[in-house]
Amino acid sequence: MSLTAARGLLACPHCHQALEIGDRAVTCPSGHSFDVARQGYVNLLGGPAPANADTAAMVAARRRVHAAGVFDAVADAVARAVTTGFGERWRVSSKGENFPRRLVEVGAGPATYLHRCLDDDPSRHGVALDVSRAAARAAAKAYPHIASVIADVWHFVPLLDGSADAVLAVFAPRNPVEFARVLRPGGLLVVVTPTPAHLGVLRATYGLLDIPSDKEERLGHALADAFEPLATTTVSYPIEADTALARDLIAMGPNAFHDVPKAVDPLTDRIDVTVSVYTAAV
């Protein structure tokens, strides 16, 4: 069962005590209980999903985009950021004693980036958090070695204090206070944000949501109280999108809540993102 990867990490969203993972339910000492879904994920929301939770159609579009390899270079950069960040700070030995073993991805969707960071190493444990039931189901199905959990990280990250070695937030919501709480001292936060050039042709052609020019600066300010910057790099490369892929690039994101054009033309565009690595203040 995929949830075993989160053993010793999960915290109850009601009383914040450690959760015990069973075959059919996840429980805490106070008696709060959460059923394990047939697909292997657990819902720790404690209520209905918010209106902005990704739909099954959005998650399916994202999976097709990832399967096409559009974001492979971004996933590789995230994995390198985790390895390099720990290598620089703890001088990882050839045996890798200091390599992060407990990785968490927030807003994980189908957990593509988390999977790349785990690199199929059975000694590493991954927890995928997303507010969407469809996303949790997709992650549990695609990667049974990853613990898939439905949670709203805006309010509470359902992990014990200091339990994570690294947190990934790739095009995902950020809760600096909670991230600092769940990371061990010196743990890593890896954040991926789009630049104004990211999918610029697609956004201009179809009137999609704009990307603020000061997005990276605002990120630094938001994290300043709890994190220290380690490194920043830009990942930029052109892509060719046929009609189906261009439509999926629209359908996988928040623009899908407004409208996805029925007719989308093939186009040449660019993936352009910033990968920022921070360390939790000791």
Q: State the pTM of this model.
A: 0.93
Secondary structure letter of residue 46 according to DSSP: S
Choose the weakest-confidence range: 58-67, 179-188, 250-259, 271-280. 250-259
Q: 212-246 in b/e burial notation, b at 16+ Cβ within 10 A?
A: eeeebeebeeebeebbeebeeeebeeebebeeebb
Spatial distance between the Cα atoms of 101 and 97, rounded to a whole number of angstroms: 9
pLDDT band at residue 123 using 50, 70 and 90 as cut-offs: confident
Sequence-distant (≥ 6) Cβ neighbours of residue 129 within 8 angstroms: 104, 105, 106, 107, 108, 149, 150, 151, 153, 157, 158
Query: Residue 262: phi, psi to the nearest 5?
Result: -75, -30
User: CA 146, 167, 110: angle at the middle one, nearest 5?
Assistant: 40
- Tens of pLDDT, residue by residue over 250-270, are 999 888 877 788 889 999 999
Compute the mean pLDDT over every residue in the chain, rounded to the nearest whole number: 90
Question: Which of 191, 175, 229, 10 has the alpha carbon at shortest distance from 102?
Answer: 10
Spatial distance between the Cα atoms of 126 and 136, rounded to a whole number of angstroms: 13
Spatial distance between the Cα atoms of 135 and 148, rounded to a whole number of angstroms: 9
- Tens of pLDDT, residue by residue over 156-205, are 999 999 999 999 999 998 999 999 999 998 899 999 999 999 999 999 99
CATH 3.40.50.150 given to domain 40-280: yes
Provide the pLDDT for residue 282: 66
Domain regions of the chain by residue span: 40-280
Query: How many Cα atoms sit within 13 Å of 215 on the Cβ side?
Result: 18
